[in-house]
Amino acid sequence: MTQTGLTGGEDFMERRRLMQDSAKLAVGAAAAPVLMALTDAWQASTKPLPGATVSESMIDDWENAADVHHRNFIVDPPEVVLAALAIDFADMAPHLRRSQPLSVTRALNHVAARHAHWIAGGWFFMGARREATRWWARVRELADTSGDNEMAATARSWEVNCRISDPRENLVELLTLAEDACRAGGERPSMALVRAIATQAQVLALMGRDTDAVTMIRKAEAVFERMPSAHTWRAVREEGNLHFFRSFVYTLTQRHNQAAEAQEWGERQSIPGEYRIRQVRLHRAAAVARHEPEEGISQALRILEDHSDARQNPLVNGSARLVLTTLPDKARALPAAQELRALTAVST
């Protein structure tokens, strides 16, 4: 790759070092130099757009890569996904700060926002709260300047969906961010709007505003019903996401039949081995714990113990803590409840 768009030799060398190190983690030390050489050769063979430092092929390639990172994020360790993301984002970063035609700027910001979206999530999953906060701010900025309102809504919804699992978070602040996501989503039915509305419903349910939460999740369901049907992997994934939101909200608001239905659908549409299945099962344990505390806690502990990575996943931990919130007051001192509380404690 040429040094077009870079500010100097030191910047170029530092970027190349980051890309090499990331490639070593992602594909292995032996393959990393070959990967970098092929990437350089491919980019050098493409013709930049008029007045720009990138080609249409480069932008399309980064968009395709974002889909790959999305799929990998679901099942792979966050450090592996971050390594792959670092290669692509380090590659596009110099072009983001260069003057480009407006259409190119928007396209670059769009694809960079998609990558930053998963980078923020990766840091969050690794427990790096400060780095995650930095990248969430970056993804909002990139999404807003891309001109894509759905992307702007999605950026905010994803941030709230992660942060909502941290008991240290301010729910009023998260509700404001979820409301911003709804405004960005506009009025036209889209999955971005469905996610934004459902995310707001989650926050309201955690705040104990049951009536408002149910109203919002039913609004999300109505918007989803107005969307044209699709059969892509992403469409199936998004329908599974809606059932996850329904499971969360209906469990906390004690709509037992709706919660059970959502949990059945959520498990069926999840990818085998992914963390979302464990979250849905923990929602079911939370519903049981409300009336059978010892059984609900036992189910939660088994879910955490059966998967070695479960206790390292902040979203799974957050779902496990829901079991503690549904316990009757007299059951909160049970030894099993204390064990679950200790297992899911947030480290500082």
Which amino acid is located at 19 in the chain?
Answer: M
| Half-sphere CA count of 38, side-chain side, radius 13 A | 6
Q: Which helix (H) or strand (E) holds 74?
A: helix 56-75
Give the pair of three-digit tokens for residue 104: 């190119």
Q: What is the residue extent of each domain of the chain?
A: 10-45+55-147, 164-244, 277-343
pLDDT digits (tens, 9 = 90+) for 17-48: 555 555 555 556 656 666 666 666 566 667 76
- Residue in the structure block whose two tokens are 């890309």: 19
CB atoms within 10 A of CB 94: 19
Contact 93, 131 (CB under 8 A): no
Is the confidence at residue 221, as pLDDT, over 60?
A: yes
pTM of the model: 0.82
Which tokens in the block code for residue 196? Answer: 């934004």
What percentage of residues in the chain have a pLDDT greater than 90? 62
Q: Enumerate the β-bridge partners of residue 55.
A: 48
- How far is the C-alpha of 111 from the C-alpha of 240, rounded, in Å? 24
Q: Which of 242, 176, 240 has the alpha carbon at shortest distance from 203?
A: 176
Task: Indicate whether 8 pLDDT > 60.
Answer: no
pLDDT tens digits, 288-346? 999 999 999 999 999 998 766 655 789 999 999 999 999 999 999 999 999 999 999 87
Sorting pLDDT into bands at 50, 70 and 90, what band is 230? low
